[in-house]
Chains A and B, each alone.
Chain A
């Protein structure tokens, strides 16, 4: 079998291959032809590479010391095919220029410290020398040889990289080695890569049976990048013929294409849902505080966006503090910024409530205007403190990067963290409202204020606390937004319209409605984006919201019962 493998290059050189021969990289010069022939002859006389004994290996290693590039090339190929355990290290050393030919003609390896060792026995050698011949021809041969050897490496990463190297070379010579590797491969991503690489080779072969097999393999793995290749097989050329002569292969390609399309659709759908969850969680974070101030208290807080902005700036300040005073824990500033942002925004919220908002209870339109004025004041204040430019909030190292869930669908860690953070904030809010005595008071006051007052609840103080809580939750949203985008004085302005839509759509006063509305808007947005473009998608979403409100004026989750008609 390996003998055959060694002979193939020669055969390949002689037999023109219809597809591959057109590529310039594979145009065989007569030197390469000679090299291949020499190798074939050499392996023939060696009686098969697999059975090559140590002395053959040693001969080949010694041949590396020759000044001629062709000789080195053929020696490297012999070493690569020998199956010897030392082969990989030796070839890598050759590639890296660490194979030193001593003045006495001995081939040695230079280790990291610069000392020389005999390439075959490993014994130390005290001599001076020059690096082995390493011209472009040698380099070209070395890479696939090393990659083939690396296919047997115990580390999956190395194997995967090796498959990719071989695949990019796309040479028929590698097919048998890859088939061997596939038979023993256990790790799924490497298997997929191997199958894909083999399928690409097989598709280019002359044998219809191999092409059929390749198409079956493509259909099985469902690798989307073969779509255009398959499309080429089943499309008529300009002269009315198919590039693929065999009708069986064409029909196979046709059904494989259909399968790929189905899979693509599923993957796209899943990706849309995931990106939509991410967008939705941002919407939810920005709307959740509003669901308290607007939903529970009926205060139209147009300055809510500025709470997000203040939360983001609090994050920035925490980062600056950690940078200055606790540089060794700098990446944990994010954890510290959560209570900081919550506290800052609660304080600002309480101040606003005490100074302005409380005088406007029961007058929603005036509240709208006054809080809009507050938002302008807050923006301008922040602008005069921090300057009009965006400030830089960096992701801590444990949020950098991402993971590939499907082919070409990468979810960054910070997006995932935002989704988790949103869940935590929702849990926090519902605990505050359902599980604490403050929450009990808040609900009592919003449901029946005079009765709550009769029971001895200080309703004014509860108002302040509720407003502060809503603002604080907005600040938590700001922490998350600071991880995703720019932090500037106008950060909040871009979220306020969407937040209000979410609260109105969800049904005022309903936490669950807010959650459902945020995620459905987020997913709808992401599904529409590729179809209609980002802007038109947004407009369609808006029209959809208006239509939904037509149908259900109280929002998706309308409050029922006696309290329902009050609004």
Chain B
């Protein structure tokens, strides 16, 4: 396909200048490669700390101290942390695709839900005959008066098969969709819009009762997972610990991908795709790889999420959920893996707190976050730390002389105007 298409000629200088205002690919605001790669150490430690807390400390504090002890963490808190950790995995996946490869996908919520549904199907089958209707079929099928299991439900009584599907289904859908989309060079916002439409269509599909996934109510009322009762606090703590471990592994994997040659090609492609193409790289393969990987990670996160929350329904597929994932990454700082995780924890923590205390304020806060972060803090919260670190460095250098201070980049948080095609310093 790529061969049959003559490579797009580089726009002449003056046309480039003319079209810059409206057509600069949107990646211009991200700092160039070198700076981003300059701070892996604190990042690794920060993520390691988070994973340690989630994977070890929180579950232990739930299980070991007595309920009356001041150190005891409630079950609610444990499942909240477990939930946030799953969101953290999704954020890393999103950051891989968006922050590093420039693919703003608006169907990560769909992949998340698909993984969740695959796990939910296993959990439904694991209920056995303990449902309300004492039937071998899931309750909603009895309710709909179905006599036998639809073909696509077969196999989900085995955990291994379900786990395979958690990976395969989102992966296969992402691969197919990505193949067609990247091949015809749908990119930027067009890709976002089409993926959003895909999510919307999937949501409509899953809302139907006839589709066979419980319709409106989704899958719920789970009893046990591989023999362990989901009501037991120890199971919940274990799930939380596994989520923490998964987050750590996801981070290491993402780190490896980003640091690899492929990762560098992707980042280069994010910034100037045409130039990378002229160098002889095939964007389709690279993009497809990172996009599919990202979808699979989302599926795994969804599969970890469902047993902890106890329900999966089509509202997880709402297009707005997918856009929200993007804002977690943006708030934390896209293009930094730790930033993405941080953003997921910050935004969702704020959401859990605000929706409980000031329900009407939450949408204002979320909307405000979208606007303010994109306008004033394109680098995310991580940028504040970086700015602080730079300021400290400047002070240190300032002792040596004013000359270097003048050269040092200003820690500007001001937005680039329409003319700001050049990356911010």
B94 CB to closest chain A CB (Å) equals 12
CB nearest to B183 among chain A residues? A550
A449 to B15, CA, bound (A): 11
Query: Are A364 and B208 in touch, CB under 8 angstroms?
Result: no
Query: Are B26 and A363 in touch, CB under 8 angstroms?
Result: yes
CB nearest to B330 among chain A residues? A369
Taking residues whose C-beta sits less than 8 angstroms from the other chain, chain A's interface range is 35 or more
B371 CB to closest chain A CB (Å) equals 4
Query: Are A362 and B28 in touch, CB under 8 angstroms?
Result: yes
Interface centre among B183, B330, B368, B370 (most CB of A within 10 A): B370
Give chain A interface residues in 336-392, CB to chain B under 8 Å: 356, 358-370, 372-377, 379-380, 383-384
B183 CB to closest chain A CB (Å) equals 8
CB nearest to B366 among chain A residues? A376
A368 in contact with B104 given A361-B22, A553-B185, A565-B11 (CB within 8 Å):
yes
A362 in contact with B20 given A379-B363, A538-B204 (CB within 8 Å):
yes
Query: Are A369 and B374 in touch, CB under 8 angstroms?
Result: yes
Interface centre among A365, A383, A450, A501 (most CB of B within 10 A): A365
CB nearest to B378 among chain A residues? A366
A302 to B142, CA, bound (A): 41
A542 in contact with B22 given A369-B323, A369-B370 (CB within 8 Å):
no
Q: Mark A552-567, 1 if CB is under 8 A from B, else 0.
A: 0100000000100111
At the interface, yes or no: B253 with Cβ under 8 Å from chain A? no
Binding site for B on A (CB under 8 A): 297-298, 300, 302, 356, 358-370, 372-377, 379-380, 383-384, 446, 448-451, 493, 497, 500-501, 504, 535-536, 538-539, 542, 545-546, 549-551, 553, 562, 565-567
CB nearest to A546 among chain B residues? B194
Query: Are A539 and B26 in touch, CB under 8 angstroms?
Result: no
CB nearest to A452 among chain B residues? B18
Residues of B contacting A450 in the complex (Cβ-Cβ under 8 angstroms): 17-18
CB nearest to B193 among chain A residues? A500
Residues of A contacting B104 in the complex (Cβ-Cβ under 8 angstroms): 365, 368
Residues of B contacting A375 in the complex (Cβ-Cβ under 8 angstroms): 367
Query: Are A550 and B205 in touch, CB under 8 angstroms?
Result: no
Residues of B contacting A300 in the complex (Cβ-Cβ under 8 angstroms): 189, 192-193
At the interface, yes or no: B186 with Cβ under 8 Å from chain A? yes
Q: Mark B357-381, 1 if CB is under 8 A from A, else 0.
A: 0001001101111110111001000
Residues of B contacting A567 in the complex (Cβ-Cβ under 8 angstroms): 23
A360 in contact with B375 given A377-B367, A549-B186, A565-B8 (CB within 8 Å):
yes
CB nearest to A494 among chain B residues? B200
Given pairs A300-B193, A372-B323, A373-B369, 17 additional interface contacts (CB within 8 A): A356-B371, A360-B374, A361-B22, A362-B24, A362-B421, A365-B104, A366-B378, A369-B374, A370-B370, A370-B371, A373-B327, A377-B371, A449-B22, A538-B201, A542-B197, A542-B198, A546-B180
Query: Are B18 and A448 in touch, CB under 8 angstroms?
Result: yes
Residues of A contacting B371 in the complex (Cβ-Cβ under 8 angstroms): 356, 370, 373-374, 377
Of the listed stretches B231-239, B278-286, B412-420, name the one at the interface; the rest are far from the partner chain: B412-420
Residues of B contacting A553 in the complex (Cβ-Cβ under 8 angstroms): 184-186
Give chain B interface residues in 157-209, CB to chain A under 8 Å: 180-181, 183-186, 188-190, 192-194, 196-198, 200-201, 204-205, 207-208
At the interface, yes or no: B319 with Cβ under 8 Å from chain A? yes
A536 to B15, CA, bound (A): 44
A539 in contact with B327 given A356-B375, A370-B371, A567-B23 (CB within 8 Å):
no
Residues of B contacting A448 in the complex (Cβ-Cβ under 8 angstroms): 18
CB nearest to A302 among chain B residues? B323
Query: Are A361 and B193 in touch, CB under 8 angstroms?
Result: no
CB nearest to A381 among chain B residues? B364
CB nearest to B17 among chain A residues? A450
At the interface, yes or no: B386 with Cβ under 8 Å from chain A? no
Interface centre among B183, B190, B375 (most CB of A within 10 A): B190
Within the complex, which residue of A358, A369, A565 is in contact with B327, where a contact is CB–CB below 8 Å?
A369
Within the complex, which residue of B184, B185, B188, B207 is in contact with A364, where a contact is CB–CB below 8 Å?
B188
Query: Are A501 and B193 in touch, CB under 8 angstroms?
Result: yes
Interface centre among A376, A383, A535 (most CB of B within 10 A): A376
Residues of B contacting A500 in the complex (Cβ-Cβ under 8 angstroms): 193, 196-197
Residues of B contacting A373 in the complex (Cβ-Cβ under 8 angstroms): 327, 366-371, 374
A225 CB to closest chain B CB (Å) equals 30
At the interface, yes or no: B34 with Cβ under 8 Å from chain A? no
B375 CB to closest chain A CB (Å) equals 6
At the interface, yes or no: B19 with Cβ under 8 Å from chain A? yes
**What are 26 A-B pairs with beta-carbon distances under 8 A?**
A297-B22, A300-B193, A356-B375, A360-B415, A362-B28, A365-B189, A366-B29, A367-B374, A368-B192, A369-B327, A373-B369, A374-B371, A379-B363, A451-B18, A497-B200, A497-B319, A500-B197, A539-B204, A542-B200, A545-B197, A546-B180, A550-B180, A550-B183, A565-B11, A566-B11, A566-B23
At the interface, yes or no: B9 with Cβ under 8 Å from chain A? yes
At the interface, yes or no: B288 with Cβ under 8 Å from chain A? no
CB nearest to B211 among chain A residues? A535
A64 CB to closest chain B CB (Å) equals 61
CB nearest to B98 among chain A residues? A365
Residues of B contacting A364 in the complex (Cβ-Cβ under 8 angstroms): 25-26, 188-189
CB nearest to B414 among chain A residues? A359
A446 to B373, CA, bound (A): 27
Within the complex, which residue of B23, B319, B374 is in contact with A362, where a contact is CB–CB below 8 Å?
B23
A540 CB to closest chain B CB (Å) equals 9
A536 CB to closest chain B CB (Å) equals 8
At the interface, yes or no: B110 with Cβ under 8 Å from chain A? no
A468 CB to closest chain B CB (Å) equals 17
At the interface, yes or no: B21 with Cβ under 8 Å from chain A? yes
A377 in contact with B28 given A361-B21, A553-B186 (CB within 8 Å):
no
Q: Mark B232-264, 1 if CB is under 8 A from A, else 0.
A: 000000000000000000000000000000000
At the interface, yes or no: B340 with Cβ under 8 Å from chain A? no
B278 CB to closest chain A CB (Å) equals 15
A362 to B208, CA, bound (A): 40
Kindly list the 10 A-B residue pairs having the minimum CB-CB distance in the complex, ordered from nearest: A373-B370, A376-B367, A361-B418, A377-B367, A380-B363, A370-B374, A373-B371, A373-B367, A362-B24, A366-B374
A46 CB to closest chain B CB (Å) equals 67
A375 to B366, CA, bound (A): 11
Residues of A contacting B369 in the complex (Cβ-Cβ under 8 angstroms): 373
Query: Are A362 and B418 in touch, CB under 8 angstroms?
Result: yes
Query: Are B9 and A565 in touch, CB under 8 angstroms?
Result: yes
A507 to B190, CA, bound (A): 11
CB nearest to B22 among chain A residues? A298
A272 CB to closest chain B CB (Å) equals 21
A376 in contact with B20 given A384-B360, A497-B197, A566-B15 (CB within 8 Å):
no
At the interface, yes or no: B326 with Cβ under 8 Å from chain A? yes
A356 to B389, CA, bound (A): 29
A363 in contact with B188 given A369-B327, A375-B367 (CB within 8 Å):
no
Query: Are A504 and B200 in touch, CB under 8 angstroms?
Result: no
Query: Are B364 and A298 in touch, CB under 8 angstroms?
Result: no
CB nearest to B185 among chain A residues? A553
Residues of B contacting A449 in the complex (Cβ-Cβ under 8 angstroms): 18, 21-22
Interface centre among A367, A539, A562 (most CB of B within 10 A): A539
CB nearest to A377 among chain B residues? B367
Query: Are B207 and A380 in touch, CB under 8 angstroms?
Result: no
Q: Mark B368-405, 1 if CB is under 8 A from A, else 0.
A: 11110111001000000000000000000000000000
Residues of A contacting B98 in the complex (Cβ-Cβ under 8 angstroms): 365
Residues of B contacting A551 in the complex (Cβ-Cβ under 8 angstroms): 184
CB nearest to A378 among chain B residues? B367
Residues of B contacting A539 in the complex (Cβ-Cβ under 8 angstroms): 201, 204-205
Residues of A contacting B200 in the complex (Cβ-Cβ under 8 angstroms): 497, 542
B1 CB to closest chain A CB (Å) equals 10
Query: Are B198 and A362 in touch, CB under 8 angstroms?
Result: no
Within the complex, which residue of A370, A446, A451, A535 is in contact with B22, where a contact is CB–CB below 8 Å?
A446
A365 to B367, CA, bound (A): 16
Query: Are A362 and B204 in touch, CB under 8 angstroms?
Result: no
A118 to B20, CA, bound (A): 96
Query: Are B363 and A376 in touch, CB under 8 angstroms?
Result: yes
